[in-house]
Structure 1
Amino acid sequence: MNRPNLLHAGPAASFDEPFEMLAACHDRLQRMLALLARLREHLPAHGADAQARQAAHDVMRYFDQAAPQHHRDEELHVFPPLLAQGDPATVERVQALQRDHRQMEEAWERARTVLAAIEGGQLQQPDAASRVALETFSSLYGAHLEAEEQLVFPAARQLLDAAAIREMGREMRLRRGAA
């Protein structure tokens, strides 16, 4: 995925630059999806060994804690100005992304059940339904992330003035309990 320089998320991303934070979250999300892919490849040969259990734990932790906050950031700060400006194509795209969020939440419930069983050592070899749950969850993110990074984040950033961006960062920081 090619990311424009506007959204390059380096190690200096902070709440003072909330769009950089969103991009950094996408980077972490991609790393967790890659970990999930490696876990899916690892299981047939090794079962729910210590590495698999740790990977399942790490993926669950990220998607239980950080991913919902990230979706909330988008729902509160990125999508509303785009919906308010009223361009039909943009509104349609944002509504599709909102539907994606709901589908991701539903798919996460199924994937999480599988991962919890792997973490607990109860599921050594995922059956077909478990594999589908993990694959379905992972597959929801590709086009979604690209649309946000290439279209939605830059468009929202252009609509928000400096004060609104500062407020966005402040609210993100407070909701996470960060100093």
Structure 2
Amino acid sequence: MAYKSLMQFVEELETNNLLIRITAPVSTELEITEIADRISKQPGGGKALLFENNGTKFPLLINALGSDNAMKLALNVSNYDDITDEIQQLFKTIAGPKNSLLEKIKTLPVLSGIAAWLPKVKSGRGVCQEVVHENPDLGILPVLKCWPFDGGKFITFPMVNTKDP
């Protein structure tokens, strides 16, 4: 099942007991990252955290894909081998030689399925353009200061995987 929105995935995490909602006030300076660090280092990667009271009007989701169970939920599989098998079958179907017209026609449903993965091109204005800030202020976002000696708050990639060299 593809999720229609991040909120739908958050609801699914909660339904599967893979989410902790944090409603207490927390600071974006060091406090949220300290909590997230402790949770994400738990066996199995810990649960996703939804900070609902972080000093901004935006909730902050952290560690949404941090556990094996959450990743499998996002990918809609019970086992990663399911994805491997699907990809292998896909390549087997489309990569082999097609000697007859019938063999070529049999690949059309597979090719149609691949085409469905591609983003849809829509004309007009997108939902993301419903609110337009003429004078944007990044200060309204829950930007984190992660470590005590950081120079300040940093906007990082939406997903960060840090590895000690």
Q: Which has the higher strand share?
A: 2
Q: Which has the higher helix share?
A: 1
After TM superposition, the score normalised by the length of structure 2 is: 0.29
Asked which structure has the greater RCO (Cα within 8 Å, sep 6+), the reply is: 1
Bigger-Rg structure (1/2):
2
After TM superposition, the score normalised by the length of structure 1 is: 0.27
